[in-house]
């Protein structure tokens, strides 16, 4: 006789109350109090179902109560999704999330650099608020006046408990409207935007005064490393004498893309090392090949995650200076795995450190030269300081 796992869990609960016969490494379970219907389970399986009962017995009781007593018939698929999301929400980590198949597809598309949405990059601050890191140029968000530092409150009047669900709510078919509630200077405002197809060009380059090259990296996505390499080669052909690499308002992204960029900037050695809850370390290294042009790294308080890996490694290397303000302080890494049904789990699995073992998470990377830009400044003081340092090396 076969019993479904869920029914067997319920059966085990009854068995614990009535007692069970254990012999020869197996368990004989009595169904409905009659010896005529029994299921023989191995001791190993019995122990497994015992753990299952202790862990999820209350959940099963709640499930039965909800499905049997709610004033209308619940959507069981939504209930299941809520259970999965609730489990991950219990971590209290805004960067970990269970994603449905649709949410995972949307998230994956955004890392490829093209998606339908409004063009906002955001993270969380120390209070757990969603804060705008930057807006992608020429997108609905930029045109609507959203700025770095704005707090994101709701989408179409609804709040969301994770960054991924908030981000998924902002996205949607190009041409559809969405209302975003945000807070600036303590006041909430609503703005209606029409979603568009966003093509996020993450690397931009040009030649500045005195033959100094400039590369701006706004995020680390699928093609960022290749685009950085192309931009670098283009500037080298123009015989630039120095290089400004601008990571300001870069909220991070794909770690591998950041490591490929770091590999161009650093000699042979450790770029960063990761450590899990068990203390196991994983070292990520660069090879001996690197650019032979002096450079300056620009950072600010919105330089986060993957960008901070590069900043920390450059600072520990000590050869090229960092200019700006202390970075955001997100020194943790998420691993994402797809489940059989197309849904996925994004989980914070490790913390990363600078090559010398300096903590980044919650602290950030302090620049060698602290220079602040204010809203009143017409000139970019941070860029000016970077150019000054490079000119001094010529």
Q: Is 330 assigned a catalytic role?
A: yes
Catalytic residue, chosen from 106, 305, 307, 354, is 305
Q: Of 26, 236, 334, 343, which one is the catalytic site residue?
A: 334
275 among known catalytic residues: no
Contact present, 290 and 267 (Cβ < 8 Å): yes
Quick one: DSSP state of residue 253?
B
Tell which residue, 329, 335, 330, 361, has the closest CA to residue 347. Answer: 335
Cα–Cα distances (Å) from 72 to 76, 190, 357, in that order, read 12, 33, 56
Are the CB atoms for 131 and 122 separated by under 8 Å?
Answer: yes
Write the secondary structure of 27-88 as one string of H (helix), E (strand) and C (coil): EEEEECCEEEEEEEEEHHHHHHHHHHHHHHHHHHHHHHHHHHHCCCCCCHHHHHHHHHHHHH
The single residue of 216, 315, 330, 346 carrying the catalytic annotation is 330
- Rounded to a whole number of angstroms, the CA Rg of the chain reads 27
Catalytic annotation on 281?
no
Distance, in Å, from the CA atom of 41 to the CA atom of 368, rounded to the nearest integer, reads 65
Q: What SS3 state is found at 70?
A: coil
Which residues are catalytically annotated? Answer: 305, 330, 334
């Amino acid at each position: 006789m076969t019993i479904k796992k869920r029914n067997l869990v319920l059966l085990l609960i009854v068995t614990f109350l009535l007692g069970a016969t254990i012999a020869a490494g197996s368990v004989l379970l009595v169904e409905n109090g009659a010896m005529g219907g029994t299921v023989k389970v191995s001791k190993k399986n019995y122990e497994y179902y015992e753990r299952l009962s202790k862990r999820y017995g209350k959940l099963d009781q709640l499930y039965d109560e909800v499905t049997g007593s709610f004033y209308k018939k619940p959507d069981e698929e939504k209930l299941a999704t809520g259970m999965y999301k609730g489990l991950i929400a219990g971590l209290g980590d805004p960067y970990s999330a269970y994603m449905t198949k649709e949410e995972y597809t949307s998230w994956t598309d955004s890392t490829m650099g093209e998606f339908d949405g409004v063009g906002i990059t955001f993270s969380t601050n120390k209070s757990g608020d969603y804060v705008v890191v930057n807006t992608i140029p020429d997108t609905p968000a930029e045109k609507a006046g959203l700025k770095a530092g704005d707090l994101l409150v709701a989408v179409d009047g609804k709040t969301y408990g994770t960054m991924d669900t908030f981000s998924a709510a902002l996205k949607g078919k190009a041409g559809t409207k969405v209302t975003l509630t945000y807070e600036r200077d303590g006041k909430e405002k609503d703005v209606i935007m029409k979603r568009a197809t966003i093509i996020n060009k993450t690397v931009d380059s040009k030649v500045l005064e005195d033959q100094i090259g400039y590369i701006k990296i706004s995020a680390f996505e699928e093609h960022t490393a290749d685009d950085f390499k192309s931009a670098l080669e283009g500037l080298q052909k123009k015989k630039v004498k120095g290089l400004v690499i601008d990571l300001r308002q870069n909220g991070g992204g794909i770690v591998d893309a950041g490591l490929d960029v770091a590999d161009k900037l650093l000699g042979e050695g450790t770029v960063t090392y990761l450590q899990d809850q068990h203390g196991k370390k994983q070292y990520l290294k660069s090879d001996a090949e690197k650019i032979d042009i002096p450079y300056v790294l620009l950072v600010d308080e919105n330089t986060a995650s993957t960008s901070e890996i590069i900043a920390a490694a450059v600072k520990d290397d000590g050869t090229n200076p960092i200019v700006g303000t202390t970075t955001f302080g997100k020194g943790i890494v998420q691993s994402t795995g797809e489940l059989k049904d197309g849904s996925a789990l994004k989980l914070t699995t490790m913390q990363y450190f600078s090559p010398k073992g300096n903590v980044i998470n919650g602290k950030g990377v302090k620049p060698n030269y602290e220079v602040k830009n204010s809203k009143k400044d017409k000139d970019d003081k941070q860029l000016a300081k970077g150019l000054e340092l490079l000119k001094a090396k010529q």
